[in-house]
């Protein structure tokens, strides 16, 4: 599936989403690996098959196999970490924060791509998944690495757009199913 086919799937009620998608894909403010790895990680985090397919196709023309694997790894490990650390952060019992997580996450230390890219992808996925503790941790690492606030904001904006595409497509599909009943 191409990005144009994905845009065609976005219903008219979500015209702004479609326009944001077009603008995002055309944006050149991030380096190629940063941008397309971010797209892929956020698409995987959206859990929408059409979104994943379109961004996988787009990324496969621009990323190395190692970068593709790292983007998917960022989405996968953050799926685990975001649930665990969101629980630790939100639980009234603060004892959980003193306990070892006992979760394997070696890929964070050795992602196979530039560490700042991987952290940015992880931050974007954490924003999609709503984990404040992970957002804070990844943003801190990015700031320490000298990544500009504008770059961090762009990554989260792109994640928001990709998630909104998934939601719009699903809402449009639900409308079609409801009309058929």
Burial of 118 (0-12, 13-18, 19+ CB in 10 A): buried
* Tokens, residue 9: 């799937």
In this structure, what DSSP letter does residue 146 have?
T
| Residue 162 contacts residue 42 (beta carbons within 8 Å) | yes
From the candidates 6, 9, 67, 131, which is the catalytic residue?
Answer: 131
| Residue 169 contacts residue 161 (beta carbons within 8 Å) | no
Q: Is 25 a catalytic residue?
A: no
**Count of H-run helices and E-run strands, the chain:** 9, 0
- Distant-in-sequence, close-in-space partners of 84: CB < 8 Å, separation ≥ 6: 101, 103
Please measure the distance between the N-terminal and C-terminal CA atoms of the chain and give it in whole angstroms. 28
| Residue 44 contacts residue 76 (beta carbons within 8 Å) | yes
Q: Is 134 a catalytic residue?
A: yes
From the candidates 50, 74, 134, 142, which is the catalytic residue?
Answer: 134
Catalytic residue numbers? Answer: 131, 134
């Amino acid at each position: 599936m191409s990005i144009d086919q994905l845009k065609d799937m976005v219903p008219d009620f979500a015209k702004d989403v479609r326009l944001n998608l077009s603008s995002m894909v055309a944006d050149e403010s991030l380096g190629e690996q940063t941008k397309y790895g971010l797209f892929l990680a956020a698409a995987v985090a959206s859990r929408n098959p059409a979104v994943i397919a379109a961004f996988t196709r787009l990324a496969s023309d621009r990323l190395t196999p190692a970068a593709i694997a790292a983007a998917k790894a960022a989405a996968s490990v953050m799926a685990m970490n975001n649930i665990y650390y969101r629980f630790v952060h939100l639980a009234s019992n603060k004892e959980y924060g003193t306990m070892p997580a006992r979760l394997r996450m070696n890929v964070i230390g050795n992602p196979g791509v530039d560490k700042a890219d991987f952290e940015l992808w992880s931050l974007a996925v954490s924003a999609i998944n709503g984990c404040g503790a992970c957002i804070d941790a990844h943003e801190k690492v990015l700031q320490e690495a000298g990544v500009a606030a504008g770059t961090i904001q762009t990554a989260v904006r792109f994640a928001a757009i990709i998630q909104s595409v998934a939601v719009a497509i699903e809402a449009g599909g639900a409308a079609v199913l409801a009309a058929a009943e």
